[in-house]
């Protein structure tokens, strides 16, 4: 099966309400690699007091706050306990399969959250949401009689409950008279990792930085089988070449700036060489080495990897480079170069890092 790797911006509007917000996705027709590899992406935008109704999904994902701040509620299906957390720019939040969540912009500026992860079997290439309430809510599927018996209400009460859902979109604006629950910081360390403020895994002067979150940082990632990283490249800086060394794939969203992505596939064939900018989504297949080069203004992107561990093979990258690890004689024969050139080649790579300055 041929993979069409061309980067894309969100082309499908699920909902958009003026003054409230919207939810946008990448359709499998425009970006077929998502359905082929059972991945998904969604962009949630909420204006102040905007609220995404409670829902659960058929797959796991990681949320990353691009801008703004948010009050979010997460309810695990295992213990039915609601964790209310306050998250801000740079925070990443794992959302497990089947967990109920809601998202509220309690600030005074726009909130943008990108969700990246795996898709389920119902709609490959897209997150499939089950809303508890609203016009698209599951309550609408049951008769008044069933609701009355299930929720121990009178039939009149069940009719009133069901009628109340008819005017609710999946994104609404909460009136000022409703007080949302206060966040509790006790559970935040289990659920949230700030990629913008954490110590980078790699940092190169004038080049950029790479910050990762894996199962070592958030044990919950081990349950959902995902990890994430954030890359910031200064103008002319370069990441790579890297490849995923554990059969996982790599889905990235450009949060700021622009640059170039080059991916090399089997037999040294270039499978993608394209410009990307803010709002673009791009995919890297397993084992395919890739490079991201920043334009003059730099580039920032958030990536999710379909493994709870951050295991990469590096061609550059200093001491971790496979070229540095190879025996000198093996490298000399493989490169068809003189001993002096091979020694210089290894020495120069060993001094570098996986991020290179211009």
Q: Are residues 31 and 78 in the same domain?
A: yes
Q: Are residues 340 and 209 in the same domain?
A: yes
Q: Are residues 306 and 226 in the same domain?
A: yes
Q: Are residues 176 and 241 in the same domain?
A: no
List of residues 6+ apart from 216 with CB closer than 8 A: none
Within 13 Å and on the Cβ side, how many CA atoms surround 270?
A: 6
Of 94-98, 162-166, 288-292, least confident by mean pLDDT is 162-166
Q: Are residues 269 and 126 in the same domain?
A: no
Answer yes or no: is 162 within a domain.
no
pLDDT value for 184: 84
- Which of 1, 3, 63, 76 minimizes the C-alpha distance to 263? 3
Q: Are residues 105 and 204 in the same domain?
A: no
Q: Are residues 218 and 256 in the same domain?
A: yes
Per the structure, the count of domains in the chain is 2
What would the pLDDT profile of 37-81 be if each residue is shown by its tens digit?
Answer: 999 999 999 999 999 999 999 999 999 999 999 999 999 988 878
Within 13 Å and on the Cβ side, how many CA atoms surround 92?
A: 28
The 3-state secondary structure of 167-199 reads: CCCCEEECCCCCCCCCCCHHHHHHHCEECCCCC
Answer yes or no: is 118 within a domain.
yes
Of 32-36, 45-49, 291-295, least confident by mean pLDDT is 32-36
pLDDT value for 8: 83
Distance spanning both ends of the chain, measured CA to CA: 37
At residue 347, the 3 state secondary structure works out as helix
CA distance 245 to 287: 6
Average pLDDT, the chain: 91
pLDDT value for 1: 41
Of 164-173, 243-252, 333-342, least confident by mean pLDDT is 164-173
Answer yes or no: is 75 within a domain.
yes
Residue 4: band (very low, low, confident or very high) from pLDDT cuts 50, 70, 90 = low
Q: Are residues 182 and 232 in the same domain?
A: no
- Which of 358, 357, 327 minimizes the C-alpha distance to 343? 327
Q: Are 195 and 255 in contact (CB under 8 A)?
A: no
Q: Are residues 181 and 199 in the same domain?
A: no
2: pLDDT strictly greater than 60: no
CA distance 110 to 70: 10
What would the pLDDT profile of 203-240 be if each residue is shown by its tens digit?
Answer: 999 999 999 999 999 999 999 999 999 999 999 999 98
Q: What range defines the domain where residue 311 resides?
A: 195-356
CA distance 191 to 217: 10
Answer yes or no: is 296 within a domain.
yes
Answer yes or no: is 1 within a domain.
no
Q: Are residues 33 and 182 in the same domain?
A: yes
pLDDT value for 275: 95
Answer yes or no: is 32 within a domain.
yes
Answer yes or no: is 245 within a domain.
yes
Answer yes or no: is 152 within a domain.
no
Percentage above 70 pLDDT, the chain: 98
pLDDT value for 245: 86
Alpha-carbon distances, residue 251 vs 45, 99, 315 (angstroms): 20, 22, 20
Q: How many helices (H) and strands (E) does the chain have?
A: 8, 24
Domain end residue (candidates: 159, 189, 219): 189
Rounded mean pLDDT of 188-193? 91
User: CATH number, domain at 177?
Assistant: 2.60.120.10
CA distance 126 to 59: 9
Percentage above 90 pLDDT, the chain: 66
29: pLDDT strictly greater than 60: yes
pLDDT value for 311: 81
Q: Are residues 234 and 96 in the same domain?
A: no
Q: Are 100 and 54 in contact (CB under 8 A)?
A: yes
Q: Are residues 200 and 183 in the same domain?
A: no
């Amino acid at each position: 099966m041929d993979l069409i790797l061309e980067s894309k911006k969100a082309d499908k509007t699920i909902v958009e309400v003026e003054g409230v917000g919207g939810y946008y996705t990448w359709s499998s027709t425009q970006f077929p690699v998502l359905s082929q590899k059972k991945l998904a992406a969604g962009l949630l935008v909420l204006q102040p007091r905007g609220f995404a109704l409670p829902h659960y999904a058929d797959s796991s994902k990681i949320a990353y706050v691009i801008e703004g701040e948010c009050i979010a509620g997460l309810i695990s299906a295992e213990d039915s306990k609601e964790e209310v957390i306050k998250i801000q720019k740079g925070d990443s939040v794992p959302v497990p399969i089947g967990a109920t969540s809601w998202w509220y912009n309690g600030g005074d500026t726009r909130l943008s959250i990108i969700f990246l992860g795996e898709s389920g079997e119902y709609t490959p290439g897209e997150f499939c949401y089950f809303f508890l309430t609203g016009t698209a809510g599951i309550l609408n599927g049951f008769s008044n009689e069933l609701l009355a018996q299930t929720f121990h209400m009178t039939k009149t009460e069940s009719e009133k409950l069901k009628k109340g859902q008819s005017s609710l979109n999946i994104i609404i604006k909460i009136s000022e008279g409703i007080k949302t629950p206060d966040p509790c910081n006790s559970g935040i360390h289990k659920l949230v990792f700030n990629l913008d403020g954490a110590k980078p895994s790699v940092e190169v002067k004038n080049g950029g930085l790479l910050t990762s979150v894996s199962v070592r940082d958030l044990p919950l990632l081990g349950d959902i089988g995902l990890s994430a990283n954030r890359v910031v490249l200064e103008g002319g800086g370069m990441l790579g070449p890297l490849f995923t060394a554990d059969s996982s794939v790599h889905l990235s969203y450009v949060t700021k700036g622009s640059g170039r992505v080059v991916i090399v596939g089997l037999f040294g064939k270039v499978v993608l060489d394209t410009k990307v900018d803010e709002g673009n989504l791009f995919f890297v297949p397993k084992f395919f080495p890739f490079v991201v080069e920043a334009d003059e203004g730099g580039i920032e992107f958030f990536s999710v990897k379909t493994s709870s561990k951050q295991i990469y093979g590096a061609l550059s990258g200093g001491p971790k480079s496979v070229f540095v690890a190879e025996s000198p004689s093996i490298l000399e024969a493989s490169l068809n170069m003189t001993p002096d050139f091979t020694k210089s080649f290894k020495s120069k790579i060993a001094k570098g890092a996986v991020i290179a300055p211009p």
